[in-house]
């Protein structure tokens, strides 16, 4: 019995990992054009550099790549710490890094959902998730306004700002937290975000 239970738990954890990998692979923008252009640029620059270095190592005075000779002549007239060299080099390095970052896969289009079948990938939009959680908070008696923020690039958790007209809110914040937890249980996100409820009430 215990062996069967452990085996089921292991298979369930493996299924979750497979589902996560599938969701990341299927739902993340691939930016194919930017990746192809970056790979082509890096390959071309590396090829030109390799050809020129090989020619120099063999003692050749002729530059095999057309158009490289004038650039080499200009560069030989400047030192490495010359601002006329450092400024363009820094700009090229910055643009190259930005280009490579643009070629990386983007973030997921939404929040992946847990599923029983690891071969299926589901997702809910971040804005839609925030709206449905705000509606869950508004279903709590006494809550007049509710806004949900979070699930961005820098914030992984959810911040719920709720307002009530009561002068003594008692355990209202706990009820809001519980209502949002119930709604998250129904939605079943693959990674459940932490929830921080901040309640405002009348103080007059």
| pLDDT band, residue 155 (cuts 50/70/90) | low
**What is the bridge-based pairing of β-strands 195-200 and 111-113?**
unpaired
Mean pLDDT of 121-138: 86
| pLDDT band, residue 7 (cuts 50/70/90) | low
Cα–Cα distance between 93 and 101 in angstroms, integer?
A: 12
Q: What pLDDT, on the 0 to 100 scale, is given for residue 153? A: 54
Condensed to tens digits (0 to 9), the pLDDT of residues 64-109 reads 777 777 777 776 777 777 777 788 778 878 877 877 776 666 666 6
Higher local confidence (pLDDT), 167 or 176:
176
Say which range, 49-58, 105-114, 178-187, has the weakest mean pLDDT: 105-114
- Give the percent of the chain with pLDDT over 70: 71
Q: What pLDDT, on the 0 to 100 scale, is given for residue 1? A: 47
Residue 125 has pLDDT above 70, yes or no: yes
Name the average pLDDT for the chain: 76
Residue 12 has pLDDT above 60, yes or no: no
């Amino acid at each position: 019995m215990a062996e069967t239970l452990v085996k089921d738990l292991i298979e369930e954890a493996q299924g979750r990992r497979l589902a996560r990998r599938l969701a990341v692979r299927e739902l993340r923008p691939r930016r194919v054009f930017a990746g192809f252009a970056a790979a082509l640029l890096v390959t071309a620059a590396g090829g030109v550099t390799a050809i020129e270095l090989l020619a120099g190592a063999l003692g050749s005075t002729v530059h095999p790549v057309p158009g490289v000779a004038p650039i080499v002549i200009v560069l030989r007239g400047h030192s490495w710490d010359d601002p006329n060299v450092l400024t363009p080099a820094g700009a090229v390095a910055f643009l190259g890094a930005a280009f490579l970052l643009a070629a990386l896969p983007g973030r997921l289009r939404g929040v992946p959902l847990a599923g029983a079948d690891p071969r299926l990938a589901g997702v809910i939009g971040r804005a839609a998730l925030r709206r449905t959680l705000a509606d869950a908070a508004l279903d709590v008696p006494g809550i007049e306004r509710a806004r949900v923020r979070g699930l961005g690039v820098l914030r992984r958790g959810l911040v719920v700002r709720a307002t009530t007209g009561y002068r003594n809110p008692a355990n209202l914040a706990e009820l809001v937290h519980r209502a949002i937890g119930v709604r998250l249980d129904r939605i079943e996100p693959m990674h459940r975000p932490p929830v921080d409820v901040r309640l405002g009430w009348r103080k007059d």
